[in-house]
């Protein structure tokens, strides 16, 4: 079946702009995760959803970052007033309710000029 | 395009040889460990996992060893193939939380 998909694959924006990154998880997966990966680093946890609610948002760096999952499927990561330091690959993953194996999407490469 | 492996420690092995990738973790409360493989331009891919009540687990061509005393994890790949070339990350979870913490990756280069 289809894996996790993310759109867009690349996003270039200017400092101060607002961006939205979308994640379509594997059908039936109730858990959804967002990570951020800087060049040469491992993915860094941002937020985890179980269904529609954010079960753990401890990784969001500041209040410019926000994520939603209104119907318990697709999720959107929103970044306000983007800064150059926000440039990274944003990865989404999904899993079954209590599954340990997380399935990752290809990521969205965000570049803030 | 950009390489995920830029500036990462690199392990170069001859095709057909065995590879050993090491990882040190810091959280003694971690009770579940995972190895991921990440190819350039792709998301991490699950390889194998191990719970803290085990010290060894084997999969197809891969073995994970866990030493809780020194907080060390290793991934052994038998008969390394060119398709094994990628960046490998160890990761950990603790206490039933779903949050995964990734370690520093190692870039594996297989020499044909």
Best residue of B43, B45, B64, B95 to probe chain A, by most A CBs closer than 10 Å: B43
Question: What integer pLDDT is reported at residue A97 of this predicted model?
Answer: 82
Mean predicted confidence (pLDDT) in B18-35: 92
Give, in order, the Cα–Cα distances in Å from B70 to each of A2, A50, A59, B24, B28.
40, 34, 27, 8, 10
Rg of the Cα atoms in chain B: 14
pLDDT band at B95 (very low <50, low <70, confident <90, very high): low
Chain B positions touching A59 (Cβ under 8 A) are: 99
| pLDDT beyond 90 at B26 | no
Chain B positions touching A37 (Cβ under 8 A) are: 4
What contacts B80, CB < 8 A, 6 or more positions away?
A: B13, B14, B15, B16, B17, B18, B19, B108, B110
Q: In percent, how much of chain B has pLDDT > 90? A: 78
**DSSP one-letter string for B52-102:** TT-SEEE-SSEEEEEETTTTEEEEEESS--GGG-EEEEEEEEETT----EE
Chain A positions touching B106 (Cβ under 8 A) are: none
Which residues of chain A, if any, have pLDDT below 50?
none
Q: In what order do the strands lie in the sheet with B56-58?
A: B19-24, B72-77, B62-67, B56-58
Using the Cβ of A45 and the Cβ atoms of chain B, whether some distance falls under 8 Å is answered with yes
At A71, list the tokens. 């119907």
Q: Do A102 and B6 touch (CB under 8 A)?
A: no
Q: Do A54 and A78 touch, CB atoms closer than 8 A? A: no
Identify which of B103, B75, B93 has the alpha carbon closest to the alpha carbon of residue A31.
Answer: B93
B47 to chain A: closest CA residue: A101
Q: Do B49 and A101 touch (CB under 8 A)?
A: yes
Residue A15: DSSP 8-state: T
Chain A positions touching B2 (Cβ under 8 A) are: 39
| pLDDT beyond 50 at B3 | no
| pLDDT beyond 60 at B6 | no
pLDDT band at B7 (very low <50, low <70, confident <90, very high): low
Chain A positions touching B34 (Cβ under 8 A) are: 100-101
Question: What integer pLDDT is reported at residue B2 of this predicted model?
Answer: 38
pLDDT band at B5 (very low <50, low <70, confident <90, very high): very low
Question: What integer pLDDT is reported at residue B96 of this predicted model?
Answer: 67
Chains A & B: contacts with CB separation below 8 Å: 61
Question: What integer pLDDT is reported at residue A29 of this predicted model?
Answer: 94
Question: What integer pLDDT is reported at residue B28 of this predicted model?
Answer: 85
Please count the other Cβ atoms lying within 10 Å of the Cβ belonging to residue B60. Answer: 7
| pLDDT beyond 60 at B4 | no
Q: How far is B48 from B34, CA to CA, in rounded Å?
A: 6
pLDDT band at B104 (very low <50, low <70, confident <90, very high): confident
Collapsing DSSP to helix, strand or coil, A85 comes out as: helix
Using the Cβ of B37 and the Cβ atoms of chain A, whether some distance falls under 8 Å is answered with no
Q: Average per-residue pLDDT in chain B?
A: 90
B46 to chain A: closest CA residue: A101
Measure B108 CA to nearest chain A CA, in Å. Answer: 14
């Amino acid at each position: 079946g289809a894996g996790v998909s993310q759109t867009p694959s690349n996003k270039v924006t200017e400092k101060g702009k607002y961006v939205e990154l979308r994640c379509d998880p594997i059908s039936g997966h109730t858990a959804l995760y967002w990570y951020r990966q800087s060049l040469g680093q491992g993915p860094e946890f941002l937020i985890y959803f179980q269904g529609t609610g954010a079960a753990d948002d401890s990784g969001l760096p500041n209040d410019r970052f926000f994520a939603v999952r209104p119907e318990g499927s697709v999720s959107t990561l929103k970044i306000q007033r983007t800064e150059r330091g926000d440039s990274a690959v944003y990865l989404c993953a999904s899993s079954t309710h209590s599954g340990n194996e997380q399935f990752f999407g290809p990521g969205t490469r965000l570049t803030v000029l | 395009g950009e390489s995920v492996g830029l500036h990462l420690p690199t392990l170069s092995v001859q095709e057909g040889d065995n590879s050993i990738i090491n990882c040190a973790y810091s959280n003694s409360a971690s009770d579940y460990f995972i190895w991921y493989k990440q190819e350039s331009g792709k998301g991490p891919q699950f390889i194998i996992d191990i719970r803290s009540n085990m010290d060894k687990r084997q999969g197809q061509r891969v073995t994970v060893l866990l030493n809780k005393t020194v907080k060390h994890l290793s991934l052994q790949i038998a008969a390394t193939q060119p398709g094994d070339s990628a960046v490998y990350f160890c990761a950990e979870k603790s206490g039933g939380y779903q949050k995964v913490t990734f370690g520093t990756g190692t870039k594996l280069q297989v020499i044909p």
